[in-house]
Amino acid sequence: MTSKAGSRVIAIEEHYVHPELAATFANWRSGQPASIVDRLLDFNETRLAEMDQAGIDVQVLSHAPPATQQLGADKAVSMARRVNDALHHAILRHPARFAGFAALPTIDPEASADELERAVDKLGFKGAMVHGLTDGRFLDEKPFWPIFERAEALDVPIYVHPAMPHKAVADAYYKGHPILTGAAWGFGVETATHALRLILSGVFEAYPRLKIILGHLGEGLPFSLWRVNDIVQRTNKLPRSLREYFCEHFYLTTSGNFSFPALQCSMLEMGADRILFSVDWPWASNVDGVSFIEGSPISPDDREKMLHGNAERLLRM
């Protein structure tokens, strides 16, 4: 199977939901159209048919937010194992079509590191996806660093995906305008902040081969990177510039941001080798995502890199 342009297509931010985990969150179906819920629970007919319709060969599956990150330590570790095992079995039913990112019980960083290693070495997963805050804390805090240490040792990336902003932030900034709290704005601001905090924390000095993925063409950071770097460097004397850390340790995906100006900005700032194709299924359309890359005025070589080459290299696919 190939896209209309004849390319292999690997999409790396494509979501699912594990029913047992989802049931731990009250009213998780509320606010979601039935069609989204059905797709999140599906690993066969609808998912594969919509992949085929768009010419997508492989989805790298990740649990929708918040996955296991908002569970207490008494439940998170065992739940993450069950969720990852279930995803592994779903992948085995269609091994040519699916791969996986692990869910991690980040409330317990040491257990998260061990679960990441198990998921990579025993289940064949390609890395992990984390969703926003853990008990109100960003992952740049040093107690969480065992996760990054293990990711570097395993040579797999951590995908930092949005989740709901801290309640205090949501109340202060988005009260009266709830549409801004989530994917429209608040998700991106929170995740961009997470990325900048990681750079400032020194984690990339401690783990110089650590790789981080951001979705949605970098959550706005490529557009702001020169200015952020310029101002940070005036007072924070990092061993390297903030811009260098970002361009050397981060990868971006096209998930849910099918804008050529945004893609062009990301390419100019990061280079085509750092951008991977994603859809953000089922919240975005496979057809729209593939058509966006195929219709963008970029070189054939860059198109091949984004559609499959960069994922094959980064995720060893």
* Structural domains of the chain ordered from first start: 10-310 (3.20.20.140)
pLDDT at 237: 82
At residue 275, the 3 state secondary structure works out as: strand
Choose the catalytic residue: 57, 108, 140, 280: 280
Give the type of residue at 63. H
Looking at 266-305, which runs of residues are DSSP E strands? 275-276
**Distance between CA atoms of residues 91 and 43, nearest Å:** 9
Q: What is the pLDDT along the chain (317 residues), one digit of tens a residue?
A: 455 556 899 999 999 999 999 988 877 777 788 999 999 999 999 999 999 999 999 999 999 999 999 899 999 999 999 999 999 999 999 999 999 999 999 999 999 999 999 999 999 999 999 999 999 999 999 999 999 999 999 999 999 999 999 999 999 999 999 999 999 999 999 999 999 999 999 999 999 999 999 999 999 999 999 999 999 999 988 899 999 999 999 999 999 999 999 999 999 999 999 999 999 999 999 999 999 999 999 999 999 999 999 999 999 99
Instruction: Detail the DSSP E strand segments found in the chain.
Output: 10-16, 58-63, 98-100, 128-131, 158-161, 212-214, 250-253, 275-276
What pTM was computed for the model? 0.96
Q: What is the DSSP letter of 180?
A: G
Indicate if 135 belongs to the active site: no
pLDDT at res. 1: 47
Distance (Å, whole) CA 291 – CA 7 = 12
Distance CA 107, CA 141 (A): 12
CA–CA distances in Å: residue 158 to residues 39, 154, 204, 251, 314: 24, 11, 13, 10, 11
* C-alpha–C-alpha distance, residues 240 and 235, integer Å: 13
Which amino acid would we find at residue 299? S
CA angle 218, 102, 86 (to 5 degrees): 135
Q: Exposed e or buried b for every residue in 123-152, given b needs 16+ CB within 10 A?
A: bebbbbbbbbbbeeebbbeeebbbbbebbb
Nearest of 233, 238, 147, 138 to residue 192 by alpha carbon: 138
Q: Is residue 147 within 8 Å of 182, Cβ to Cβ? A: no
